[in-house]
Amino acid sequence: MIKKLRVAVDHGNRNMKTCNFVFTTGLTEQDKKPARGEKYLKYQGKYYTLSEKRIPYQRDKTQDSRNRFWILTLFAIAMELEQKAQIQPEDVIQVELPIGLPPKHFAELCERYERYFKGDGKVQELCFNDKVYHLCIQNVMAFPQDYAAMMTRMMEIREIPKVVGIDIGGFTSDYLLMRSGRPDMDYCDSLEKGVITMYNDIISSINSEYDMLLEEADIDSIIKGKTQYYEEAVVQAVETMVQNFVTDLLNSIRERGIDTKSTYTVFIGGGAVLLERFLEQADRLGKHTFIRDMKANADGYDLLYRMTQAGV
């Protein structure tokens, strides 16, 4: 029997997100079936498991020579399929795939992404945790990040003259200006100022100054106020560098013509939630809010796709 499934996927540099799942953008390939109990995907004779070691940043994810973002997309689809008790082994699942791109890269890359993730349109067999699925990607539609997340708050945002959405991700921070609910594509960009670049700067500096090797988890702990496990001087140094990162980010956006003092600011993504305490202390910030759901862009892709299909 033919069945349909819509799976919105946010291909983040730090995390992959669907409307229901978040997992690290990391992948391990092997020839043999993983140990019992370990979640895996078998596709075209290879076994894949998820990894906490992230794939290095790639601006155009369709250019990855190992097609890892395609495999991660299959993981996302399989996770959603696993929740559908009505799916039977003999079923063919036609997948609708709303995805997204940074606003600055959208016009250049949207058609390439749609072609890449649709593939040849043929039925593919994959095995996820010992269960076999047959699926084909029926339709792929790309939407701008930030705009998608803000669409989940559109009833509020469309009443405000100027709103800037700032999505602080892993390797980049993307921003987009909205005027009375409509995107102004002259004021959008993707800055290479994500939390992973911040981590790298902090790790290097602390190693140089204090001969101490911090991990990202240590920095997260300090950012979240769990400072009792670290030397006071190290805590102060980390907090100063985090505050400087936030200040530099807002100043960079100001240099591009958007003043977050006079523009209502919507912070999006896990990076923004992590840095909330430091963003709140920034001098360059006026009225603002946070979309704390890490899956907000995926939810927005799903919403925009449904609106498009309905002709709205």
Amino acid identity of residue 196, one-letter, is: I
Residue 251: per-residue pLDDT: 96
- Alpha-carbon span 189 to 174, nearest angstrom: 6
For the segment 161-175, what is each residue's pLDDT rounded down to a tens digit? 999 999 998 888 999
Given a contact cutoff of 8 angstroms between Cβ atoms, the answer to whether 125 and 132 are in contact is: yes
pTM of the shown model: 0.91
Short-list 170, 230, 242, CA closest to 201: 242
Contact, 15 vs 273, CB < 8 A? no
**Structure tokens that stand for 206 in this block:** 């602390």
Secondary structure percentages of the chain, helix, strand, coil, to 5: 35, 30, 35
Buried/exposed 9-23: b ≥16 CB within 10 Å, e otherwise = bbbbbbbbbbbebbb
What's residue 11's pLDDT? 96
d(CA 162, CA 181): 8
Query: pLDDT value at position 35?
Result: 84
Q: What pairs with residue 137 in β-bridges?
A: 95
What does the DSSP 8-state code read for residue 129? T
Closest CA to 109 of 54, 69, 149: 69
Residue 62 token pair = 């369709």
Q: What is the pLDDT of residue 88?
A: 80
How far CA 90 is from CA of 6, 131, 133, 187, 192, in Å, comes to 19, 11, 8, 49, 46
pLDDT digits (tens, 9 = 90+) for 139-159: 999 999 999 999 999 999 999
Which residues fall within 8 angstroms of residue 294, CB to CB, at 6 or more apart?
Answer: 15, 17, 22, 269, 270, 273
Determine how β-strand 92-101 pairs with β-strand 2-6: parallel
**So what's the pLDDT on residue 242?**
98
Whole-angstrom Cα distance, residue 107 to residue 299? 21
Q: Which runs of consecutive H residues, i.e. helices, occur in 83-215?
A: 103-118, 147-151, 154-157, 195-210
SS3 92: strand
CA dihedral 176, 96, 273, 187 (to 10 degrees): 0
Q: How does pLDDT run across 66-106, given as a tens digit for each residue?
A: 999 999 999 999 999 998 878 887 899 999 999 999 988 89
Instruction: List, for the chain, all residue ranges whose pLDDT scores fall below the cut of 50.
Output: none
pLDDT reported for residue 58: 87
Compute the distance between CA of residue 234 and CA of residue 222 in angstroms, rounded to an integer: 9
